[in-house]
Structure 1
Amino acid sequence: MKLLLTAAGITNASIQGALVRLLGKPIAESDALCVPTAGYGHPMGNPAGVWRFISGQSRLPMCDLGWKSLGVLELTALPSIGAERWVPWVQEADVLLVNGGDALYLAHWMRQSGLADLLPSLSEKVWVGLSAGSMAMAPRIGEYFVEWTAPTGDDSALGVVDFSIFPHVDHVDLPENTMAQAEKWAAGLPNPAYAIDDDTAITVVDGAVEVVSEGKWRHFPA
């Protein structure tokens, strides 16, 4: 897949430009599926937050960008309806908009639903991650972000990319998310990592990584 990994959605013109380049066509001509699942897994998650994400009522621009069509792909439902029904939905979409919440919960249901296994065949699709929706693509999320206990008992995520992500650097509502804390977090990981603020995103296309930013970010080598 083509990845657009954000902390807070499509927050500025540079990130929106990157999204349009990945899509290869205007947003208004693109069909989207939103994936709210991660919003249920975090201790601070609740049904109202999931509704705000789906309906475009949150402060994090994702579902309210003017898509040609917008549907909901709830991963926890997929094992009960069969791949013959939901796989075509994914194949027909241009982009998956993936909610924040708990990254390990999202990674777990990506595996359980079968969507993780499908990703390698979706080379022309775009994945837009929001916070946990971005972090879940990493090999590890780091102990700092572990809230939900995965069946594996560790902080392993999907490993679609070879780096980890520390989102929301210097966010006014998250005073603990400083660049100094990100440096400590990165020191505990065996792989490279990025710390990004809400005005920064990372694109990954065919293994090529590019930072798109109107804000603050830092790369931590392994």
Structure 2
Amino acid sequence: MKLLLTSAGVTNPTIFAALEELIGEPISESDALCIPTAQYGHPWVSPGIKAWEFISGRSENPMVDLGWESVGVLELTALPSIDEERWKPLVLETDVLLAAGGDALYLNHWVQQSGLADMFPSLTKTVWVGMSAGSMVMTPQIGREFVGWKSMTGDDSTLGVVPFSICPHLAPDGAPGNSLAAAEKWAGGIQQPSYAIDDQTAISVTDDAVDVLTEGIWRYFPK
């Protein structure tokens, strides 16, 4: 699976072009499934209007509204209660999975409980586009600063698909988001290399290649 890990969605032409390159065809000819699940676990988002805005493409974060040929919904909390034959073929046929922001540990739980994580090895051509928590879930750990929903393990570990962690929403001091000082403090508690990225930055991961795509600011913290 190819990854496009963003802070706030496909927010500029650089990230948009990278997404089309990962897919291998124009977005207008590609099919997507949006995953709103992470939103339900976060107290600032939760079920209701924010989830509807994401699914309908009316949020402030460009994901669903990019001009896809088709867009569907993949709700992970529902998958354990229906036959695999009803949803696994759909995932296999889809070009892109769009994972909303919210609570990364809640999303991590349902990616695994739903059986979607078990499909990852077979999704060799699929592109996962994460936004905030939808990106962080692919890392080994999120850091205690981002723990909200409590996992059964009681720690901050996530899927570990990539060997680095991400602090999203990096922002200049005084602006909404995470300051550089806060990101540096966060990185001090992370056990592997990490990135802090702003809302105009994304990280592309293909096989062993990791590329930072940006029209904004970012920092790398080696370990």
Give the TM-score range, shorter chain.
Answer: over 0.9
In the alignment, what sits opposite 2:40? Answer: 40
In the alignment, what sits opposite 2:67? Answer: 66
In the alignment, what sits opposite 2:181? Answer: 180
In the alignment, what sits opposite 2:85? Answer: 84
Q: Structure 2: any 5+ residue segments left out of the alignment?
A: none
Calculate the aligned-residue CA RMSD, in Å: 1.3
1:184-203 correspondence to structure 2 within 5 Å? 184-203=185-204
In the alignment, what sits opposite 1:102? Answer: 103
Q: Are 1:217 and 2:222 counterparts?
A: no
Q: Structure 1: any 5+ residue segments left out of the alignment?
A: none
In the alignment, what sits opposite 1:27? Answer: 27
Deviation at 1:82, TM superposition (A): 2.2
**Separation in structure 1 between the aligned mates of residue 59 and residue 161 of structure 2, nearest angstrom:** 27
Residues paired across the two proteins, number: 222
**Separation in structure 2 between the aligned mates of residue 173 and residue 75 of structure 1, nearest angstrom:** 36
In the alignment, what sits opposite 2:55? Answer: 54
Q: Deviations over 1:144-200 (max 9, x none)?
A: 000100011000000000111000011799646101110110111111100000000
Q: Secondary structure at the match of 2:161?
A: coil
**Separation in structure 2 between the aligned mates of residue 83 and residue 220 of structure 1, nearest angstrom:** 41
- Tell me the percent identity: 64
In the alignment, what sits opposite 2:17? Answer: 17
**Separation in structure 2 between the aligned mates of residue 54 and residue 171 of structure 1, nearest angstrom:** 30
1:88-167 correspondence to structure 2 within 5 Å? 88-167=89-168
Q: Secondary structure at the match of 1:59?
A: coil
Say whether the 8 Å CA contact 2:38–2:134 is kept in structure 1: yes
TM-score by length of 1: 0.97
TM-score by length of 2: 0.97
**Separation in structure 2 between the aligned mates of residue 106 and residue 36 of structure 1, nearest angstrom:** 9
Q: Deviations over 1:30-73 (max 9, x none)?
A: 00000000010001113100000010101100000110000000
**Separation in structure 1 between the aligned mates of residue 172 and residue 59 of structure 2, nearest angstrom:** 16
**Separation in structure 1 between the aligned mates of residue 149 and residue 174 of structure 2, nearest angstrom:** 21
